[in-house]
């Protein structure tokens, strides 16, 4: 499929909000034993549950490395499409394309640069050569034209409201291990060109101890135009407190592309949660891969949910805050069915339900 030399903005394409209609959802199949414990088998079960749940709302395709093809095809129900895509890990949000649409119902895809969340200066593993190809492979399968964006960016580091505003964090997008040659204004211009937005709302840090360098999708997201959900803690001694408080202040001060003030919904975080010794011991230790140490704080957040057609699939942590978070989310999405899934296993790998999914908008 052709790679275009223009930008979505030039061609009248924009990234729609996640709550706009989808043709389906893309995921990848976890397998690397230096990130997922016990040979990734518990993670595969957790991903399978996410895929099955989303497939009740919209078609799901799971990309899988060749050596796991047969296993994934057997473990996933027949209603889920399984295609071969070699990847270095399983974060479709970050390595997949960002789909953009125009007013005619056409769909195209943005293929960002990728360096495993920081390359040789703090990245999570080495190499990441197969991750780099995932977005293009998805677009080829779907016969969708491709924009190749000239900057390093993961899909989890941006959110849009579908009405001209994007939200992101300085911690991630201005991190020197991503695009050190670009000033903030240049990065903002690329967001405007490739997402086709007018306004970029900059928060500061992401969730405490988030190895992605503070992806927005673990901290805050649009639930509809003019409204956001923000992970929160009432405990002033928790290092997350100052981060969420700063985000709250910035959100209160912001206006979106249509001049609206934002309505901010706080979702109290679980925990705090920590990696157990048993969990740590199940993970292979490999030079160049992020170590997973016993006792390290896990960046758990209820904001890391996926919005499907008619549904919301949210993480649960077997935590006292679970019920309140699910009740709150259901109130925020009265027209969608909110389904909670135990997702500590996904969290152990460094992300959550939003990080392992990528919506494909329908364009109409």
Residues classed as catalytic: 355
* Tokens linked to 203: 């928060």
Distance CA 324, CA 257 (A): 31
Least CB distance to its own copies at residue 194 (A)? 20
Cα separation values, 217 from 89, 94, 106, 230, 239, Å:
18, 11, 26, 10, 18
Binding string, 91-130, against its own copies, x = CB under 8 A?
Answer: ---------------------------------------x
Stretch (H or E) spanning 107? strand 107-113
Listed ranges 6-14, 134-142, 289-297, 347-355: which one lies at the site for its own copies (CB under 8 A): 134-142
Is residue 50 within 8 A of residue 353, CB to CB? The reply is yes
For the bound state, the minimum distance from the C-beta of residue 70 to its own copies, rounded and expressed in Å, comes to: 7
Give strand ranges (E) for 135-211.
Answer: 145-152, 159-160, 165-169, 199-203
The region of 84-92, 220-228, 270-278, 310-318 touching its own copies under the rule CB under 8 A is 84-92
Residues in the chain: 364
The answer to whether residue 186 forms part of the interface with its own copies (CB under 8 A) is no
Closest to 247 in 3D by CA, of 272, 271, 267: 267
* Integer Cα distance of 94 and 216 in angstroms: 12
- Binding flag, residue 237, its own copies (CB under 8 A): no
CB of 134 to its own copies, least distance (A): 10
Burial class from Cβ neighbours inside 10 Å (0-12, 13-18, 19+) for residue 11 reads middle
| Contact between 141 and its own copies per CB under 8 A | yes
Between 76 and 160, CB nearer to its own copies: 76
> Which of 81, 260, 266, 297 is in the footprint of its own copies by CB under 8 A?
81
The stretch among 6-14, 25-33, 136-144, 171-179 that binds its own copies (CB under 8 A) is 136-144
DSSP string of 263-317, one letter each residue: EEEEEEPP--EE--HHHHHTS---TTSPP--TTPEE---TT--EEETTEEEEEE-
The interface region with its own copies, picked from 138-146, 280-288, 342-350, 351-359 by CB under 8 A, is 138-146
* Residues 44-73 contacting its own copies, CB under 8 A: 66, 69-70, 73
For residue 331, the SS3 value is helix
| Residues 207/216, Cβ–Cβ less than 8 Å | no
Among 104, 143, 259, 335, binds its own copies (CB under 8 A): 143
Contact (CB, 8 A) for 233 and 46: no
Nearer to its own copies, 90 or 221 (CB): 90
Q: Residue 348: which residues within 8 A CB-CB, separation 6 or more?
A: 36, 37, 43, 275, 279, 292, 298
Q: Token digits for 287?
A: 């030079």
At its nearest, how many Å lie between its own copies and the CB of residue 276? Answer: 35
Whichever of 132 and 166 has its CB closer to its own copies, that residue is: 132
Question: CB of 299: closest distance to its own copies in angstroms?
Answer: 31
- In the bound state with its own copies, the residue whose beta carbon lies nearer, of 59 and 226, is 59
Binding of its own copies by 133 (CB under 8 A): yes
Contact 107, 101 (CB under 8 A): yes
- Assess 295 for contact with its own copies (CB under 8 A): no
Query: Among 83, 174, 257, 286, which residue interacts with its own copies (rule: CB under 8 A)?
Result: 83
CB of 140 to its own copies, least distance (A): 5
Segment lying near its own copies (by CB under 8 A), choices 135-143, 199-207, 297-305, 308-316:
135-143
Tell how far CA 282 is from the center of its chain: 25
Interaction of residue 140 with its own copies, rule CB under 8 A: yes
Q: Which residues bind its own copies (CB under 8 A)?
A: 1-3, 66, 69-70, 73, 78-79, 81-86, 130, 133, 136-137, 140-141, 143
């Amino acid at each position: 499929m052709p790679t275009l030399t223009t930008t979505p903005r030039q061609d009248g394409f924009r990234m729609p909000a996640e709550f706009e209609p989808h043709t389906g959802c893309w995921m990848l199949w976890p397998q690397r034993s230096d990130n997922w414990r016990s040979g990734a088998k518990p993670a595969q079960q957790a991903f399978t549950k996410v895929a099955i749940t989303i497939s009740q709302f919209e078609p799901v395709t799971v990309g899988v490395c060749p050596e796991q093809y047969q296993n994934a095809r057997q473990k996933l129900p027949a209603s889920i499409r399984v295609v071969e895509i070699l990847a270095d890990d399983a974060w479709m949000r970050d390595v997949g394309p960002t789909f953009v649409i125009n007013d005619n119902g056409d769909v195209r895809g943005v293929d960002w640069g990728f360096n495993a969340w920081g390359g040789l200066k703090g990245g999570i593993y080495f190499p990441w050569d197969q991750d780099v190809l995932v977005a293009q492979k998805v677009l080829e399968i779907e016969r969708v034209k491709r924009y190749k964006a000239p900057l390093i960016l993961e899909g989890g580091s941006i959110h849009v409201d579908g009405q001209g505003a994007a939200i992101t964090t300085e911690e991630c997008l201005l991190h020197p291990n991503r695009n050190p040659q670009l000033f903030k204004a240049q990065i903002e211009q690329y967001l405007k060109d490739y997402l086709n937005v007018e306004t970029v709302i900059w928060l500061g840090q992401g969730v405490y101890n988030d190895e992605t360098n503070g992806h927005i999708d673990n901290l805050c997201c649009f639930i509809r135009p003019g409204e956001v959900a923000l992970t929160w803690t009432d405990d002033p001694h928790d290092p997350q407190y100052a981060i969420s408080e700063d985000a709250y202040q910035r959100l209160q001060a912001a206006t979106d592309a249509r001049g609206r003030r934002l309505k901010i919904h706080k979702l109290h975080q679980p925990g705090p949660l920590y990696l157990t010794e048993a969990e740590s011991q199940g993970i292979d230790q490999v030079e160049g891969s992020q170590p997973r140490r016993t006792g390290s704080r896990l960046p758990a957040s209820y904001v890391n949910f996926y919005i499907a057609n008619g549904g919301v699939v949210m993480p649960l942590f077997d935590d006292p805050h679970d019920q309140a978070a699910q009740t709150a989310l259901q109130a925020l999405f009265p027209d969608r069915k909110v389904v909670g899934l135990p997702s500590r296993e996904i969290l152990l790998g460094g992300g959550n339900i939003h990080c392992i999914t990528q919506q494909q908008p329908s364009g109409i």
